[in-house]
Structure 1
Amino acid sequence: MEDSLLHHQIRPRFRIETSLTPAEIETKLSKSVSEDQESVGGKVIPGHATLTLPERDQHYWSPQLTLSFEEAEGQCLLRGMYSPRPVVWTMFVLFYSVVAFASLVISIVGYSKWSLGQSAGILWLVPVLMVIFLSLYLVSYTGQKVGRKQMITLHNFVEETLGINIREE
């Protein structure tokens, strides 16, 4: 797998056109997931698949690979996105939202007080919240690095199962 696929993106993606039909992709993935549950598991439904690692190999930062496949102009369009599990993603969205909302409220209150000539010491919290925001980003980036080996496992599984070579978008 190309190293660049996993760099410079929080949620790396790929998009390729293949001569396989959506039904062939679904069949190959279903067969491989049921036969190879030792290394990769998941769910496959028409036009969509979510691949994960077995429970015993998962940790907090374990990724999942979401695939969608559809007929497009005589070819099959296969899209994939590597992402954290939904619970991790939701937690980070919640934390980002809380920090952003707190920054907005503190900024409004602080600038209101400042415009009225009152003490606006509360504005010192804005840089603190920005440091927290940056820390959250760095933690998520570190988590992606921790899950990199597992992302490669999922990537190789799809390439071997479908007999295709995936490059990044």
Structure 2
Amino acid sequence: MSESHSHFQIRPRFKVNLSQSPDLIKSQLEEGLNKGDSGIYGTLIDGHATLLLPKEDQHYWSPQLGLSFESSDSGSLLRGLYGPRPEVWTMFVLFYSIIGFAALVISIIGYSNWSLGQSAQVLWAVPVLMVVFLTLHLVSYFGQKMGRKQMTQLHTFVESALNIQIRE
């Protein structure tokens, strides 16, 4: 996996120009998936692919790789996006939204009380919510670290199936 994936990104991605046509990319990926020696499985639909690890190897933090490939002047443009399964991603977005909404409501109430000369002690909840937000962010960081090996497996599969080196 390229060096740029060694630092933390919420959803690492890559983009590479290829000389192959989108149809050839699709058939190469299908061939790689049908071989079955990598254990990777997925779906291919109209210029898009989702690659996953075998169910028995998956854990809560297992990544998936979404690929899109489209025609370009030089052949094709391949884009990849690593991320958690949709249910994990949705859960984190929900938690971040709840924290943000709670901080907004508490801030409005607290500053309203403050401007009216009343007690604004509720504002102490805002730093607590920020700590919860940062803790959630750290949890996602460690979860991505736990999925690093599997992310490398997906990356290696794409390079092998398409017979390319992905550098960023």
Which TM-score band (shorter chain)?
A: over 0.9
String of CA shifts for 1:101-125, please: whole Å, max 9, x gaps.
0000000000000000000110000
**2:9 alignment partner AA:** Q
Q: Give the TM-score taking structure 2 as reference length.
A: 0.97
**2:140 alignment partner AA:** S
String of CA shifts for 1:52-93, please: whole Å, max 9, x gaps.
001000000000000000001132000001000000000000
How is 1:1-150 mapped onto 2 (pairs within 5 angstroms)? Answer: 1-36=1-36, 39-150=39-150
* 1:155 aligned residue: 155
String of CA shifts for 1:20-66, please: whole Å, max 9, x gaps.
11001100111211221652011012201000001000000000000
Distance 1:37 1:101, change over 3 A: farther
SS in structure 1 of the partner of residue 102 of structure 2:
helix
Looking at structure 2, the residues matched to 27 and 48 of structure 1 have their Cα atoms a distance apart, in angstroms, of 12
Out of 90-99 and 21-30, give the one that drifted further.
Answer: 21-30
SS in structure 2 of the partner of residue 108 of structure 1:
helix
SS in structure 1 of the partner of residue 143 of structure 2:
helix
Task: Decide whether the 8 Å contact of 2:18 with 2:74 is kept in 1.
Answer: no
Task: Decide whether the 8 Å contact of 1:47 with 1:68 is kept in 2.
Answer: yes
SS in structure 2 of the partner of residue 130 of structure 1:
helix
**2:132 alignment partner AA:** I
Distance 1:75 1:151, change over 3 A: same
Looking at structure 2, the residues matched to 63 and 114 of structure 1 have their Cα atoms a distance apart, in angstroms, of 46
Looking at structure 2, the residues matched to 38 and 9 of structure 1 have their Cα atoms a distance apart, in angstroms, of 26
Q: Give the TM-score taking structure 1 as reference length.
A: 0.96
Looking at structure 2, the residues matched to 118 and 26 of structure 1 have their Cα atoms a distance apart, in angstroms, of 65
Q: How many residues align?
A: 168
String of CA shifts for 1:131-160, please: whole Å, max 9, x gaps.
000001000010000000000000000001
Out of 89-98 and 72-81, give the one that drifted further.
Answer: 72-81
Looking at structure 2, the residues matched to 37 and 52 of structure 1 have their Cα atoms a distance apart, in angstroms, of 14
Structure 2 unaligned spans of 5+: none
Q: Please state how far the C-alpha of 1:3 moved relative to its aligned partner.
A: 3.4
Task: Decide whether the 8 Å contact of 1:67 with 1:79 is kept in 2.
Answer: yes
SS in structure 2 of the partner of residue 70 of structure 1:
strand
